[in-house]
Amino acid sequence: MRRWLRVISIGVIVLGWFIFDMWQESSRDAIIGTALSSNIDTISVRDTKTNEEILVFTDSDSAFTPMIEIYRFPYVQLERTDNKIFKEEPLLEIEYLQENEVKYVVRVHQFNSKPALAQQLEDRYMYSLEDNDKVYLFVVKGNDQLVKVNDGLKTLMDIITSK
């Protein structure tokens, strides 16, 4: 009897882990789907320490379109071991809005040097200003995905850091 109870317990744990993993994958896909199907009309950048809105772009700004194209494949799914370095509060949060409703958020994390991650990152996933030793990584909130640094994100960071 105890043996069967142990086998059933292990089976329930494995099944629970499998269901949880599928739920996480479904959640990631939903965030990506929302990002790809949204008609973003505003970008709001907020300083997380002061909770102050420091910059707003609308779809009438010339640099707007490249800034909203964050899901240019490939993106990097972070390993669970890498998530611990992103537990710290981010420097900035970039909110992507459609009709004043937040559709998704990209968190900007600042590091003093290139962070050590379980997987090797190409430089296209990091941004560093020429006159600054800081390294910036862009993580989709709720998805634990690093997005490739495109021209729009570079422009955004250049504007913010020049203030």
Rounded to whole angstroms, the Cα distance separating 28 from 2 reads 39
Contact 93, 48 (CB under 8 A): yes
Rounded to whole angstroms, the Cα distance separating 7 from 72 reads 45
State pLDDT tens for residues 128-152.
877 677 888 888 887 778 888 888 8
State pLDDT tens for residues 32-47.
655 555 688 899 999 9
Please indicate, yes or no, whether the overall pTM of this predicted structure exceeds 0.85.
Answer: no
DSSP structure string for 28-89? HHHHHHHHHH----EEEEEETTTTEEEEEEETTSTTHHHHH----S--EEPPGGGGGGG-SP
What angle (nearest 5°) sits at the alpha carbon of residue 147, between those of residues 146 and 151?
Answer: 145
Mean pLDDT (the chain, rounded): 80
